[in-house]
Amino acid sequence: MSRKLDLSHSLQQRAETFFPGGVNSPVRAFRAVGGEPPMIASGKGARMIDVDGNSYLDYVLSWGPLMLGHCAPEVVAAVAEANAKGTSFGASTPAEADLAALVVEAFPSIEKLRFVSSGTEATMSAIRLARAATNRKYIVKFEGCYHGHSDALLVKAGSGVATFGIPGSAGVPEEFVKFTLALPYNNVPALEEAFAKFKDQIACVIIEPVVGNMGCVPPRPGYLQAVRELTQREGTLLILDEVMTGFRVSFGGAQELYNIKPDLTTLGKVIGGGLPVGAYGGSATLMDQISPLGPVYQAGTLSGNPLAMAAGIAMLKTLGENRKMIYPALNVMAAKLVAGILDAAKSAGVPLVANQVGSMFTWFFADHEVFDWDTAAPCDTALFGRYHRGMLDRGIWLPPSQFEAAFLSTAHTAADIDLTIAAAREVFASLK
Ligand code: HOZ
């Protein structure tokens, strides 16, 4: 079974003359799974079409933002309306506060926020604020968590850094990361030890409350509560990085799902409705330390961009108005998909385990529980690559890395789930 990819192939070759690896973000090059990365022509609902006319059922959804699928009519209409009025002004527009009001209502821990253009900017700025507010230098992150590509946060990171098996990034002087402590996820004693060793020196703990960037890895029961208690006890700020989980695992994010009140939250992906938006926010007291009210500088030409705000408002309004139906339905559908694929693997004798939180999930090619980076790393990535190629050949688009989460949208149907499980049965049978 193989698709025709002639046009994709020649366009990829052209792209390689312009971009490193032919891509503008490394994981898109499919290097970890092998095979040709198709060039996408369009998307509609749960499907994407490549330039050669092949259709794919999409479980990546632009790496999370597209909760309503591709070209959701509400989002398309809102962007078109905003577009007709002007694409960017470098001055404030009313839509910024409209989107902020929706965020603040959904996230009670956020009184004030700042819009930026990416998750990377959001986490980098939140950390700057945390250091300023505490007058401390050290930060704690967790192995396998990814918080964007700023220097201090690439240490033992997930996502592409994990996918390519590199410890961090070249070009980051060791002096720039000497205040970054990378600890194992889901491990309370390791955090206690760090607090004892760096007493009164840790500005913040930044964490993906449900990790998406080493594949989906949920917090063990009580873990986030322990992190919250320890940070509070030590005068350290807790930053929940909800770029992936915000408006995804629940309307109010992981902090609503697990009942955790962080000091700062970072958001992105879903809040931009598929356009580039990030945000960081927290109490008014903390956020008022940001320029021009306070001494912490952060700025952006396209921050609060009117098209992105319009897309975000349409997305959050639609999700908010239908949240009682959307989130439970996605959870049930995802559970059915996850169980169906596990069953298919079992029948074929392929070792596979899975993690799922709401509409975020990962199947790991392993026969042990995956709860941190040390348990994620030994998964059979070669087998994952063969599985990925087999599924793609059958029109199923999965994340091109063992260490990325897959997602569902409201555009996916029960028939899509059945079709995906049937495709997986064929692929698992061919893996022997
Ligand atoms: N931050 C996204 C989820 N891991 C990946 C996007 C990318 O690296 O292109």
Whether the pTM exceeds 0.85: the reply is yes
8 Å CB contact between 265 and 254: no
108 and 230 in a single domain? The answer is yes
**What's the 239 CA to ligand 1 centre distance in angstroms?**
19
Which residues are within 8 A (CB) of 97 and not within 5 positions of it... i.e. 6 or more apart? none
CB of residue 25 inside a 6 A radius of ligand 1: yes
| pLDDT for 169 | 80
Domain boundary among 321, 347, 363: 321
Q: Is residue 67 part of a domain?
A: no
CB of residue 213 inside a 6 A radius of ligand 1: yes
307 and 389 in a single domain? The answer is no
The CATH number of residue 116's host domain is: 3.40.640.10
The CATH number of residue 395's host domain is: 3.90.1150.10
Which residues are within 8 A (CB) of 139 and not within 5 positions of it... i.e. 6 or more apart? 127, 130, 131, 152, 179, 180, 181, 202, 203, 204, 205, 206
CB of residue 404 inside a 6 A radius of ligand 1: yes
Whose C-alpha lies nearest to ligand 1, atom 6? 63
**What's the 229 CA to ligand 1 centre distance in angstroms?**
30
311 and 344 in a single domain? The answer is no
Q: Is 146 annotated in the active site? A: yes
145 and 235 in a single domain? The answer is yes
CB of residue 27 inside a 6 A radius of ligand 1: yes
312 and 330 in a single domain? The answer is no
Q: Is residue 392 part of a domain?
A: yes
Range of the domain at 105: 73-321
| pLDDT for 291 | 97
Mean pLDDT in consecutive groups of 10 residues from the start of the chain, 432 residues: 88 97 94 93 98 98 98 98 98 98 98 98 98 98 95 84 71 89 97 98 98 98 98 98 98 98 98 98 98 97 98 98 98 98 98 98 98 97 97 98 97 98 97 85
257 and 279 in a single domain? The answer is yes
The packing angle between helices 414-430 and 381-393, to 10°, is: 120
Domain boundary among 294, 321, 348: 321
Whose C-alpha lies nearest to ligand 1, atom 3? 63
Domain boundary among 299, 321, 343: 321
Whose C-alpha lies nearest to ligand 1, atom 7? 25
Q: Tally the domains of the chain.
A: 2
244 and 366 in a single domain? The answer is no
Q: Is residue 68 part of a domain?
A: no
Q: Is 241 annotated in the active site? A: yes
Q: Is 58 annotated in the active site? A: no
| pLDDT for 304 | 98
Please identify which residue in the block is written with the tokens 């598929």: 274
Choose, from 56, 138, 146, 258, the residue flagged as catalytic. 146
34 and 80 in a single domain? The answer is no
270 and 213 in a single domain? The answer is yes
Q: Is residue 39 part of a domain?
A: yes
CB of residue 363 inside a 6 A radius of ligand 1: no
**Would you tell me how many other CB atoms lie within 10 Å of the CB of residue 83?**
12
**What's the 63 CA to ligand 1 centre distance in angstroms?**
6
285 and 397 in a single domain? The answer is no
Distance CA 376, CA 216 (A): 10
